[in-house]
A and B are shown apart, each in its own frame.
Chain A
Amino acid sequence: MSELPISVDKEKCISCSLCESACAFGSLVMEEGYPRFLDDCRLCGECVTECPTDAILIEEAGTEVKLSNYKGILVFAEQWNGKVHPVSYELLGKGRELADQLGEKLFAVIIGSELSDAVKELTMRGADKIFVFDHPELEVFRDDPYSAILEDLVNEEKPSIFLIGATSIGRSLGPKVAACLETGLTADCTSLDIDPDSRLLLQTRPAYGGNIMATIICTNTRPQIATVRYKVMKEAEKDPTNESEIIKKTVDINDIPDRVKIIDFSPAKELVSIIDAEIIVSGGKGMGDSKGFEVIQELAEALGGAVGASRPTVDEGWIEYPHQVGLSGRTVRPKIYLACGISGAVQHLAGMKTSDVIITINKDAEAPIFSVSTLGAVGDLYEIIPRLVEKIKERKKNV
């Protein structure tokens, strides 16, 4: 067994125990006046930052990489059937901000077949340069060829930052590319910033089921790669006057690895997937009877969301178990959780309280659910929801 590469300089230590309270994981205990680091220490460095006398040291072997050779922000533009996935526009929106902050260029890369329309879209969304890998064999996403192409491109172009959408494709592809390039990857980021002093990318993401947020940096390797959660960043505005430099790359398909063959594919069936849903509209006992779920369903459809339910409604047989949110059902963390006629028992709150935004509609102004709600509307869901559905439909028509 080796030693943990973290130690305390007992000469400097003033036994203030600030380090102990700084450790979010309880992996540091004070013993005989000095910190002792437990085996599950993650070396996150919170204690180092907190120590007023710089007594705690994490030993890191230095690596010399020519980081200054890496410039520009590269965005992976994901396409399905030749159509750009909207997360890519969000990455271009964020990428532009980062590029301007750094005084660097914004690049996009797209891989697929018959991409001319997609390339026009990417141009309007503000990319300075677009790398296009257009080949019939690349029409559908496959891990091996896509990651090999991206690895080569990064080695040629040397971007300092590489952004990928945290879709199922992006989260499959990102780690393969990062592993090949021997660089860091931060998954599922919800916020990206540039540190003005170090010019490093500050990548913030939820962990522990959303109980904590962690900001992560990638110091000594490039590019700094992040997958970014869909519908978090603002889309780049369309600018028909923008001009991009289009670089058409030739693809020699025989040189590209392809170890996994697609035998067949079919569109995904509609599944009850409240776990992955970005928007969940849930109904509770306050609806009065099972008909309430018809209203809930309409709202969920209008929003493109999934239907959730509280335990009493499932116990009553108004809806099936897979919809149940709470300790005895599913734990969910959507962007928007709309609780309708749900009082907010502790067991329900435990399953949804980390949702980004909670909107509540309930007649009972005393319902506990209001205490965790971002917006609470005190009123009758049967009167409010149909009006809301109309308004949403109207708005969608006009946008």
Chain B
Amino acid sequence: MSEGLNIIVCIKQVPETTEVDFDEETGRLKREGVAAVVNPFDEYAIEEGIRLKEKYGGTVNVLSMGPPQAESALRDAIAMGADEAYLATDRAFAGADTWATSYTLGLSIKKLVPYDLVICGMKTTDGDTGQVGPELAHHLGVPHVCYVNEIQEIKGGEIRLTRLLDDRVETLGASLPIVVSVSKDINQPRLATLRGRLKAKKTEIHTITSNDLEADPMKIGLNGSPTRVVKIFTPDRPTAGDIVEGSPEELAERVLQKLVECKVI
């Protein structure tokens, strides 16, 4: 860590999920008119990167893996205040699960830029696994901390942060470099400024292909993915079930029985 921090923020483009709906008849996701956006959890990662840069100096580079159109997500990150944007895009990366995705992101980070800190969102709103951050840290050979809700201090190559587990808040310390996955409590992401948007429009998005990475073809895309999707289906929707009437006592009993049936009491 010479001049400021080299920060990399990993982001993903996702469909705006509040709008995603499943067409029961055709069995498809309704995608017409559904906007592709920066994964909402990643906005907190971008914001944290920018705040750290403002505090300590340095650079914030954003990295994504996805189809060519994912560059618009990277431009959104530039508009918020990130410096450079990299898109790992290649048909050979297609069909990647979290293992192959994190391998590819890891190679991209190792090949392209020196780094002190990699920031990821806690999970994505589409895949919803939260696995890429910790798996990426393994591929980089550095530690990882999940659910980070505050980065307290970075000094002399050391980082101090807090994370929220189910039952406790921990204050942790580690040496850089490190990968962290940040939670929504960590900050309030800023909106892009007009100047940021103008800059984003003009920024060159650096693309990375499998050749650039000299990636092991058995570790990227579908070939590098230990898992396979075998079936996609609509969950059983709660369509009007039992509508019951009766005395308050009877109704309370019916609700109780339902709760018992659901194993929550």
Tell me, in angstroms, the Cα distance from A40 to B126 when the chains sit together: 14
Asked if A379 is an interface residue, CB under 8 A from chain B, the answer is yes
A311 to chain B, nearest CB (A): 15
Closest to A355 in B: B238
Tell me, in angstroms, the Cα distance from A197 to B210 when the chains sit together: 36
Those of A215-247 within 8 Å (CB) of chain B: 215-221, 231, 234
Asked if B218 is an interface residue, CB under 8 A from chain A, the answer is yes
Contact B134 A172 (CB under 8 A): yes
Complex interface: chain B residues within 8 A of A354 (CB) = 235
Interface size on A, residues (CB 8 A): 115
Q: Which of A184, A211, A219 contacts B22 (CB 8 A)?
A: A211
Those of A263-299 within 8 Å (CB) of chain B: 263-269, 278-279
A127 to chain B, nearest CB (A): 22
Closest to B211 in A: A2
Asked if A113 is an interface residue, CB under 8 A from chain B, the answer is no
Complex interface: chain A residues within 8 A of B252 (CB) = 384-385, 387-388, 391
How many inter-chain residue pairs (CB < 8 Å) link A and B? Answer: 328
Q: Which of A25, A214, A234, A261 contacts B173 (CB 8 A)?
A: A261
B70 to chain A, nearest CB (A): 9
Those of A351-399 within 8 Å (CB) of chain B: 353-359, 361, 365, 370-380, 383-385, 387-388, 391-392, 395-396, 399
Other A-B pairs beyond A167-B166, A278-B264, A387-B248, 18, CB < 8 Å: A2-B90, A41-B95, A43-B221, A46-B229, A46-B231, A61-B223, A183-B99, A187-B128, A213-B235, A215-B233, A221-B226, A260-B145, A263-B173, A303-B259, A355-B238, A392-B265, A395-B260, A399-B265
Which positions in A face B, CB cutoff 8 Å? 1-5, 21-26, 38-46, 58, 60-61, 63, 80, 141, 143-144, 167-169, 171-172, 174-176, 178-180, 182-188, 202, 206-221, 231, 234, 259-269, 278-279, 303, 327, 331, 335-336, 338, 350, 353-359, 361, 365, 370-380, 383-385, 387-388, 391-392, 395-396, 399
Q: Pull 19 A–B residue pairs with CB atoms less than 8 Å apart, ordered by A.
A: A1-B91, A38-B67, A39-B94, A43-B94, A46-B231, A61-B223, A175-B135, A184-B227, A206-B128, A209-B18, A209-B20, A215-B232, A219-B228, A259-B174, A261-B173, A263-B173, A359-B255, A379-B248, A392-B265
10 shortest interchain CB distances as A-B pairs = A43-B95, A184-B226, A179-B138, A383-B248, A184-B227, A387-B252, A175-B134, A2-B92, A187-B129, A39-B67
Which positions in B face A, CB cutoff 8 Å? 15, 17-18, 20-22, 26-29, 31, 66-69, 90-92, 94-95, 97-99, 102, 125-135, 137-139, 142-147, 160, 164-175, 178, 209-210, 217-218, 221-223, 225-235, 237-246, 248-249, 251-256, 258-260, 262-265
